[in-house]
Amino acid sequence: MNSSYRWVIVGAGALMTCVALGAMFSLAIFQVPMAADTGWSHTGIATAMTLNFLTMGLGAFAWGAASDRFGVRSVVLIGAALLGLALVLASRAGSLLQFQLTYGILVGLAASAFFAPMIAATTAWFDKGRSLAVSLVSAGMGVAPMTVSPFARYLISAYDWRFAMLAIGILAWALLIPAAMLVRRAPVLAEASSPDAQREEQSLPLGRIFRSPQFLVLGATFFACCAAHSGPIFHMVSYATICGVGPMAAVSIYSVEGLAGLGGRLLYGTLADRLGVKPVLVAGLLVQALALASYLLVSELGEFYALAVVFGSAYGGVMPLYAVLAREYFGPRVIGTVFGAASMLSSIGMAAGPLIGGWIFDTFANYSWLFIGSSMVGLGAAAISLAFPPMRRLRLQAADCMT
């Protein structure tokens, strides 16, 4: 496809994922000052993040299906308006329950309106270099810890956590609504324009897609991958602080992970275009599992930085590859629905980490079991990924035509 506008889609998608997911993940920065100011427990605050992921999972499926039916622009515009409102309301929360409901549910619902729909939209704009393009959109997630998180930390230090959250909500409106207006529907790709391809993708039942080996392995791998890294990501600042790293330096570790994730997305996306998606995904999952176990051995700031580069590049690099696999297995017409469903499973996995990590810390006053368990789950994700079927498009069969 020769249209230069596809790069506008990439840029808008990267900005939206950066702001939306950066705002959601910034709760890791708010956790300690919120607990000190309000007396709320770490587990209680982390529960809001768990609700984020659970709601985000359901929202990803719903928003993905809506984007297939009504278009991506409508979905991201609604998400932009809702995200700013959710953050403003959460900044005024007077109780832990109120905060959990506003931040945990509304922010999660709003944030889910961007990732799956914009990733799906990007796959429709590219027929060559698709892995790299999707990785660039997903790079917004990697940039977020270098932008939203330090900005939140600065505002918290200069004012307080409530003002910081309010300001981020207003900024979300200012950035996301104009970016959403740039989104357009992609021209029809050559591979999707033939009558046979159109008939198969329109007729293929979603029930058969969700029961297929391709989707089952995709969903299980995505779930285990996110379950492995979500807890360590969310509790990394707290863990580094316990190890004696200063508050701003601890936040910088989070930022280094994000920068490494950006580089990992570019590296893994380029390698996937050249070597194939599956072998690159398996390798990345193995690196992630080993890096998680290695956190048990670090205590100095330099060691945290070095490991953050390895860990961040691994988990950041593999995340966009699931969308590419979904596109190659199931085609463009249902990619929003299919990737939304896979993202729903991944969000359920993400939901477990912050809550379990908070419980481990409150129970044992350290995070050792979090990193041990996360590493084991990461190895499980790599093992599941070995079962991916050959890269063939799922086709309509005679039995399906009878239904």
Q: Is the pLDDT of residue 193 over 70?
A: no
What is the chain's mean pLDDT, rounded?
85
Cα separation, 115 vs 129, in Å, equals: 19
> In this predicted structure, what is the pLDDT of residue 145?
66
Task: Say if residue 327 is exposed, middle or buried (CB neighbours under 10 Å; 0-12, 13-18, 19+).
Answer: buried
Q: Is the pLDDT of residue 287 over 70?
A: yes
> In this predicted structure, what is the pLDDT of residue 22?
87
Q: How far is CA 151 from the centre of its chain?
A: 20
CB 192 within 8 A of CB 123: no
Cα separation, 285 vs 380, in Å, equals: 9
Cα separation, 61 vs 341, in Å, equals: 5
> In this predicted structure, what is the pLDDT of residue 395?
59
User: CA-CA distances (angstroms) from residue 15 to 62, 140, 269, 372?
Assistant: 22, 6, 18, 34
pLDDT digits (tens, 9 = 90+) for 260-283: 887 888 888 889 888 888 999 999
Q: Is the pLDDT of residue 136 over 60?
A: yes
In this prediction, residues 166-195 reach a mean pLDDT of: 81
Assigned fold of 6-184+206-388: Growth Hormone; Chain: A; (1.20.1250)
Cα separation, 62 vs 113, in Å, equals: 9
> In this predicted structure, what is the pLDDT of residue 76?
95
> In this predicted structure, what is the pLDDT of residue 392?
65
Of residues 393 and 177, the one with the higher pLDDT is: 177
Angle at 122 between CA 120 and CA 124, to 5 degrees: 75
Cα separation, 237 vs 249, in Å, equals: 9
Largest CA distance in the chain: 66
Give the range among 46-60, 181-195, 299-313, 370-384 with minimum mean pLDDT.
181-195
**pTM metric for this prediction:** 0.72
Q: Is the pLDDT of residue 290 over 60?
A: yes
| 211 CB-near residues (< 8 Å, 6+ apart) | none
Q: Is the pLDDT of residue 380 over 90?
A: yes
Cα separation, 192 vs 189, in Å, equals: 5
Q: How confident is the model at residue 400 (pLDDT cuts 50, 70, 90)?
A: very low
Sketch the domain layout of the chain as residue ranges: 6-184+206-388
